[in-house]
Amino acid sequence: MNDPSKPRDRFRPITRWWWLAGPFCETDIRRQLEWLCANGFGGVELAWLYPGWLDDPGERPQWLGPEWQSLVAFTKSQCDALGLACDFTFGSCWPFGGSHLTPAHAAQTFDGLSRQRLRCSWERGEQLVLNHLSHEALAVYARPLFAALRPALEGWPSALFCDSLELETERLSFSGLFREFEQRFGYALPHHISKLNRSPHVRYDYRKLIADTMVREFYEAFTALCHAHGALSRVQCHGSPTDLLAAYTTVDIPESESLLFPPAFSRIAASAAAWTGKPVVTAEAFTCLYGFPGDGDANRLWKREDARDIRLLADALFASGVNRIVWHGMPYQPAGRSVEFYASVHVGPDSAFAQDLPALNHYFAQMSEQLQSGRAFAQIGVYLPNEEALMLHRIPESERTPGANYIWEMRHAAVPAELDGFAPVWISLPFLREARVENGCVHSRELALEALYIDCKWLDYAALVEFARLAEAGARIIWKRQCREPGHRKHRDYKRVQAHVRQHAENAVNLKPVLAGDDLPPYWTRRIGDDLLIFFAHPRAKQIRYPMPYRFGAIDEVFERTVVVNWRGTSTPYTLRFESGESILLRTNAPKAVGSSSVPGAIR
């Protein structure tokens, strides 16, 4: 059991704890928390949802009422006593909304009040959805939640969680949008509204305004509210129509998710953390591992998850910059009753992999501790193609996974294959605006990059100007193709400025990569003093796609890769030998790479 006298760590995985069906009581709460301790978990995130798929939802206390407050405060006190973290989803269901919102603070469209409603909240009936483009509306929404959570926010600090947005984003509006749009872009929006989806350049301008407003009015405001109440913000920014890098930099703990999002998607959240020096990057992991309920084999394989598949996906996330796992998830279990959540890898004593849980969690904690040490290292910053995503519209039907709708969700964003060995991170306009060049390297906050890389069809004028400034200062810029200007009104000097940048730019990557070798496994790098720490996932992790084939992680053959680490003027070859399903951790001052199977308690 955890030692409550020691400071809690940031390494052991936590689990989302779905409070679905009752009755709820202190005895059952204590029993389940003690089980989590005994099985290597580091905490819980309480999440509330009405279980419409169950015949009998049982007794539930009134949402935010006195009994609810008492149970939540008791849970937090027990977590404090056991040395467990205790986070809270900031609402019931998602996106944010509730019965205490008035139309003045609810989501708006060009046509008036949004038709979207919350339908699975603990509150009865359907509720209004929050206006995510107004910090005043967010403050109104937050007030009763903070009042109810006040006793639970005492003691060890908690994080307040915001799930992926899942907001209907077509035709979103806010008070003053037309005025602000005309001031910013120099033309009136109203007479374009009826043909917005047939006018991609106007739609681009509109989406830029929505994106910047949401980052400022929701994500920045949410973190400020958390801090004002002694809490941290842990947020899944994806699903929002924003520059995801910009959004993720505003929160304390950026959170990704997988497998509904590919593992490599997590590099966006990890890149934001690398730029801003945030120590922890979490991921909601293992959701719908074999498919969404009702799709293919998903129902047949539900609650039959294989520990080796779970381990392989976690390693793919570690190799994309994640350094703490959030299990999805554990349903609250009243005594004498079995409760299930339809979209989850089921966590609990009745899990198919229950006997493997202590070893899995021990391994996850060890890797998280290593991957939170030092600071992120990268050689090349790759410009995230936000402009292309905003110019395009819906994901082709054949490429959609559950919940996937728009190109701007960035689900399929992947760094170019030619950069495999350069430890690449994503960058965007905020990075460029703060960047300076020193001794040929581009410095911006916590990152010092040897080169910037851009391969985009569309590039905003503001970003082009920043690239020009950095190029003149001596930055190495790899410019792969001619860009076009998005937006309704064009800048006359766009072509001239781009030609000037390209005079200074290169078309090929002429740097020596930090890692050289054929068919590199997925990896992530950290710098610890003068050493480089490299985590290699099993090569098979590169092939993970949604849905994962059953027992894809049950690997019988041995995989070998030869890599050369080019670090501090020395080139050192290593032979990486991956036994069944294992990962490898390499540190440049160590005589050899260490396979994770040699770590006591790890899964082989």
Give per-residue pLDDT as tens, 504-533.
Answer: 999 999 999 999 999 999 999 999 999 999
Rounded CA separation 597/580 (Å): 9
pLDDT (0 to 100) of residue 342: 85
Give pLDDT, residue 599.
39
**Percent of the chain, pLDDT > 70?**
96
Task: Enter the tokens of residue 117.
Answer: 């409603």
**pTM score, whole prediction:** 0.96
**Predicted pLDDT of residue 530:** 94
Give the tens place of pLDDT for each residue, 237-287.
999 999 999 999 999 999 999 999 999 999 999 999 999 999 999 999 999
With the CA atoms of 231, 142, 84 and 599 taken in that order, what torsion angle do they form, in degrees rounded to the nearest 10? -80
> According to the model, what pLDDT value does residue 595 have?
60
The reported pLDDT for the residue numbered 281 is 98
Q: Which residues pair with 506 in a beta bridge?
A: 478
Q: Return d(Cα 131, Cα 308) in angstroms, integer.
A: 42
Within 17-116, where are the H helices?
Answer: 26-38, 66-82
From the list 75, 137, 79, 77, the residue with the least C-alpha distance to 107 is 137
Q: Which domains does the chain have, with CATH numbers?
A: 14-169+219-374 (3.20.20.80), 378-504 (no CATH), 515-598 (no CATH)
Cβ-contact 451, 425 below 8 angstroms: no
Q: What's the residue count for the chain?
A: 604
pLDDT on residue 8: 59
- Model pLDDT, residue 300: 85
Distance CA 517, CA 4 (A): 46
- Give every residue of the chain whose pLDDT is below 70, as ranges: 1-8, 590-604
**In the prediction, which pLDDT does 402 show?**
87
Q: Say what the pLDDT of residue 600 is.
A: 33
**Furthest-apart CA pair in the chain: how many Å?**
73
